[in-house]
Amino acid sequence: MDFMALLQTLSTGDVVLIAALLLSAIQIAPIRIDPWTAIIRWIGKIMIGDLPAQIAALEKNMAERISGVEKKLGEVEAKEDERDAVNKRVRILRFEDELQRGQFHTKDSFDQVLSCDITDYENYCREHPGFKNNQTAATVEHIKKIYAERLEKRDFL
């Protein structure tokens, strides 16, 4: 019996069984040919198509959006910091106006203006050289002078 005659006697099930055994034997062989993994990967690629490319595009899009949001957030924080500095300047100037009109203040009021408003305002001005600060330099010196005088005389409100 030759090889062709032997093939004709085999059924389809026998051929599938022999193919499975041969593929398994190849996978077990030390050469490490792995046909099952290759077949499963090929089927997986057919099933998911270009999903990895779509995921990569979505990740890139989200990264760009996050970058844009972070930039906007930075701009909002910068505006809020500037607004806070302007409010501190207003409080400093208002305090000076009250001193000019002869109004007395408590030591706590002076401490608040000196330690919070003036210190924070001067730090902001130092960190932001483009910020207009012509209005408070003399005012701050006058507040500090009055504070020293009141401290010496102990005549806070």
Decide if 125 contacts 77 (C-beta within 8 A): no
Q: Higher confidence at residue 99 or residue 16? A: 99
Instruction: Quick: pLDDT tens for 24-59.
Output: 665 554 556 677 787 888 888 888 878 888 888 899
Query: What is the residue-averaged pLDDT of the chain?
Result: 82
Which one is predicted more confidently, 5 or 65? 65
Query: Who has greater pLDDT, 129 or 35?
Result: 129
Residue 53 φ then ψ, to 5° = -70, -40
pLDDT at residue number 24: 67
Total Cβ atoms within 10 A of residue 53 = 9
Residues in the chain: 157
Q: How far apart are CA 22 and CA 108, in angstroms?
A: 92
Residue with tokens 């001005």: 125
Of 32-46, 67-81, 96-110, which range is least confident?
A: 32-46
Q: Where are the domains of the chain?
A: 13-48, 78-153
CA distance 88 to 120: 8
Q: Which residue has the higher pLDDT, 61 or 21?
A: 61
Joined together, the tokens standing for residue 68 give 């844009």
More confidently predicted of 30 and 127: 127
